[in-house]
């Protein structure tokens, strides 16, 4: 494992700088939206071709303070990782290390206990019916983990990672736990995390009315999901705009 040591006032000696900046921005905005769980959730990003080397947030550092230079660089195949100085959180290592080892298509991995996603994950039926555009985004594109086994130490992480072997499945509703999303980039993955929480909120609030739901047909739900998947540059523009807002506010996320 490599845990970087460097002068944080300079970015010239830090590899994968743009990836670090994007990931740091996603932490900051996740905190702003209240989707994080104190210091307990984690995002990671693969930086090697096979996906086993990855960036991840430091152990129990609040999302609202994370900077590009703070991110750890880890090797999912290094069995001594948790014994080294500045080791990552053990549950983060168990879950994200397992996903990066098993699923090379999961370039970016984001796991949160956001409120509405977790409410959905706590229902006996945690499925997300297509009742609007946002919920239709995830039509036939998620898996429900119904076998929560406690904190995501390595055995639990391996079990969860095995459920993400199909590259078409990019969202895991973690029963009794939260949500995990994957993608090809920070922008794509953060966009998915954002819209899943919005979709879960719409569904939970619709259930709270007690009224009968108007559910889209399978054909329209699939059509909508495909149209959104192919919508040009939406995820990239979303993250770019968030970074512009942070920059305009004088945020130090990109240091």
Write out the residue range of the structural domain in which residue 27 sits: 17-248
The CATH number assigned to the domain holding 78 equals 3.40.225.10
Convert the pLDDT of each residue in 147-173 to its tens digit.
998 877 778 889 999 999 999 999 999
pLDDT (0 to 100) of residue 13: 61
Predicted local confidence at residue 84, as pLDDT: 87
- Asked if residue 142 belongs to a domain, the reply is yes
Residue 83, C-beta contacts closer than 8 angstroms, at least 6 positions apart = none
pLDDT of residue 5: 34
pLDDT of residue 255: 98
- pLDDT over 90 percentage in the chain: 89
Asked if residue 6 is part of any domain, the answer here is: no
Contact 152, 97 (CB under 8 A): no
Does 90 have pLDDT greater than 60?
Answer: yes
> How much is the pLDDT for 4?
36
Neighbours of 140 (CB within 10 A): 11
Mean pLDDT across the stretch 166-189? 97
Query: Does position 3 have pLDDT exceeding 80, yes or no?
Result: no
In a domain, 189, yes or no: yes
- Is 7 contained in some domain? no
Residue 2 falls inside a structural domain: no
Split at pLDDT 50, 70, 90, the class of 177 is very high
| pLDDT over threshold 50, residue 136 | yes
Question: What digits encode the pLDDT tens for the residues 7-43?
Answer: 444 454 689 999 999 999 999 999 999 999 999 999 9
User: Average pLDDT of the chain?
Assistant: 93
The tens digit of pLDDT for each residue in 186-227 reads 999 999 999 999 999 999 999 999 999 999 999 999 999 999
For residue 25, being part of any structural domain is answered with: yes
Strand ranges (DSSP E) for the chain?
42-46, 53-56, 72-75, 108-112, 142-145, 171-174, 178-183
Structure-block tokens of residue 158: 């391996």
The pLDDT score that the predictor gives to residue 119 is: 98
Domain count, the chain: 1
Predicted pLDDT of residue 11? 56
Q: Is the pLDDT of residue 112 over 70?
A: yes
In a domain, 255, yes or no: no
Its pTM stands at 0.93
In a domain, 12, yes or no: no
Quote the CA–CA distance of 45 and 23 in Å, as a whole number. 8
What backbone torsions phi and psi does residue 230 show, to the nearest 5 degrees? -100, 5
């Amino acid at each position: 494992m490599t845990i970087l040591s460097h002068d944080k006032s300079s970015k010239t000696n830090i590899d994968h700088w743009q990836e670090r900046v994007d990931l740091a921005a996603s932490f900051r905005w996740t905190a702003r939206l209240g989707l994080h769980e104190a210091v307990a959730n984690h995002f990671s990003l693969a930086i090697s071709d096979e996906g086993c080397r990855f960036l991840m947030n430091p152990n129990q550092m609040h999302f609202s303070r994370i900077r590009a230079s703070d991110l750890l660089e880890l090797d999912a195949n290094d069995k001594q990782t948790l014994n080294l100085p500045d080791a990552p959180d053990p549950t983060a290592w168990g879950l994200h290390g397992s996903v990066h080892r098993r699923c090379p298509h999961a370039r970016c991995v984001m796991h949160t206990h956001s409120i509405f996603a977790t409410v959905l994950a706590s229902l006996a039926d945690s499925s997300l019916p297509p009742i609007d555009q946002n919920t239709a985004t995830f039509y036939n594109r998620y898996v429900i983990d119904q076998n929560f086994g406690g904190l995501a130490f390595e055995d639990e992480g391996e079990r969860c990672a095995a459920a993400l072997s199909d590259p078409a499945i990019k969202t895991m509703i973690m029963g009794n736990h939260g949500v995990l999303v994957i993608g090809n980039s920070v922008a794509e993955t953060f966009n998915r995390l954002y819209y899943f929480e919005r979709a879960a909120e719409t569904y939970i609030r619709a259930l709270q009315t007690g009224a009968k739901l108007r559910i889209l047909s399978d054909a329209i739900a699939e059509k909508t999901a495909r149209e959104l998947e192919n919508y040009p540059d939406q995820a990239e523009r979303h993250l770019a705009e968030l970074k512009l807002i942070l920059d305009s506010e004088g945020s130090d996320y990109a240091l």
